[in-house]
Amino acid sequence: MSSPLAPFPTQGPVPPNPVEQVLRMDRMPHIWCPGCGIGTTVNCFTRALQQAKLDLDKVAVVSGIGCTGRVAGYVELDSFHTTHGRAIPFATGLKLAKPDLTVVVYSGDGDLISIGGNHFIHAARRNVDLKVICVNNFIYGMTGGQVAPTTPGSAMTTTTPYGCFEQPFNLPYLAESSGAVYVARWTAFHVRQITHAMTEVFRKKGFCFIEILSPCPTLYQRRNRLGDGLAAMQYYKESSEIRHGANTRDVAITYQGPIVVGKFVDVERPTFLDVMNQQLARTLDAKYTGCVEEHVRS
Ligand SMILES: Cc1ncc(C[n+]2csc(CCOP(=O)(O)OP(=O)(O)O)c2C)c(N)n1
Ligand code: SF4
């Protein structure tokens, strides 16, 4: 029986890879381990940028520190690799100084929710117009696999050798209750849905949060004897249930348990800049020009 797939061409010019246009190819090979899910999310990100037809000169990526934090260094955009936990305050400053930019924060669960947790809740409360992408591998990857505020109960990490006994954050619930206007969760298996979600948030104003569950075969999978990156993908595929609009209270993750994915929140609320402009115009009347850029610079 003949194969339904066309044979991969082995001769002739290699077609250009559309993703490469958005990557700093001179920095390749990247540092991520085989089977790590971070690169998969970056692939989705580059495709979403192209699908949303954004002017790439008006997109900035801000990362903190960690394996995920390295994303900023690999994208051919104005990108900033900041300090640990400070991606959100840096991005907030950038957005307030240059309101016409699409500002993306791309970081790990430890960076965003542990050391950066306070910044996260306040930026969501203020509805700062940031697109926050959180790669959640349930662990501190870069520093050797310590427990994170997302590590599920009973999971092994270097700092919980008898199993984690802390209650992890349910990130979609945290984001929604802090004030995020868009909240979604996908896994590294759901590449089309991730790309779609990223495209949606590029078009939306306000604090948008996408959590992406992602394998860390080197630390999380290995310590828990969960197999390689492919085994993690199999787990995501078999255990995920798409439930758009699910109550975020009900989407907490348990160790190797079911995973609720989907778009949970998509609402409208005035952004920090909208409210600030209204308030200052009301108070200062004609003296207020409404040009935030000028005010910040003067
Ligand atoms: C102030 C400060 N504290 C601690 C560290 C060490 N550190 C670097 S990355 C990191 C955690 C990274 O975990 P996560 O954000 O989950 O990213 P991953 O590496 O898993 O992608 C820590 C604790 C640091 N660089 N700076
Ligand atoms: S240590 Fe884990 S998170 Fe970091 S690159 Fe390797 S697999 Fe990815």
Residue 179 in any domain: the answer is yes
Domain range for 236 is 31-267
**Does residue 98 share a domain with residue 207?**
yes
**Does residue 230 share a domain with residue 297?**
no
Ligand nearest to the CA of 214: 2
Half-sphere exposure at residue 267, Cβ-oriented, CA atoms within 13 angstroms: 14
pLDDT at position 295 is 44
**Does residue 276 share a domain with residue 217?**
no
Longest dimension (CA), the chain: 78
**Does residue 50 share a domain with residue 115?**
yes
pLDDT at position 75 is 97
**Does residue 90 share a domain with residue 206?**
yes
3-state secondary structure of 138: coil
* Contact assessment for residue 192 and residue 117, using Cβ atoms and an 8 Å cutoff: no
Give the number of domains in the chain.
2
* Contact assessment for residue 242 and residue 171, using Cβ atoms and an 8 Å cutoff: no
Q: What's the pTM?
A: 0.94
pLDDT at position 93 is 97
Q: What are 186-238's pLDDT values in tens digits?
A: 999 999 999 999 999 999 999 999 999 999 999 999 999 999 999 999 999 99
Residue 29: is the preceding peptide bond cis (ω within 30°)? yes
**Does residue 146 share a domain with residue 45?**
yes
Per the DSSP assignment, residues forming a β-bridge with 139 are 147
* Contact assessment for residue 139 and residue 157, using Cβ atoms and an 8 Å cutoff: yes
**Does residue 289 share a domain with residue 155?**
no
* Contact assessment for residue 254 and residue 246, using Cβ atoms and an 8 Å cutoff: no
Residues of the chain with pLDDT under 50: 1-2, 293-298
* Residue bearing the CA closest to ligand 1, atom 3: 84
Name residues contacting ligand 2 (CB within 6 A). Answer: 32-33, 36, 38, 67, 137, 141-142, 216-219
Residues 6+ apart with CB under 8 A from 113: 120, 134, 148, 149, 150, 169, 171, 174
* Contact assessment for residue 227 and residue 215, using Cβ atoms and an 8 Å cutoff: no
Ligand nearest to the CA of 115: 1
* Residue bearing the CA closest to ligand 1, atom 9: 66
Residue 15 in any domain: the answer is no
**Does residue 50 share a domain with residue 153?**
yes
**Does residue 298 share a domain with residue 197?**
no
**141 CB less than 6 Å from ligand 1?**
yes
* Residue bearing the CA closest to ligand 2, atom 6: 33
Q: Which atom of ligand 1 is nearest to the CA of 142?
A: 19
* Residue bearing the CA closest to ligand 1, atom 16: 110
CATH value at residue 247: 3.40.50.970
Percentage with pLDDT > 70 across the chain: 94
Q: Are strands 208-213 and 131-136 parallel, antiparallel or unpaired?
A: parallel
Ligand nearest to the CA of 150: 1
Mutate to test the pocket of ligand 1, among 32, 42, 65 (most ligand atoms within 8 A of CB): 65
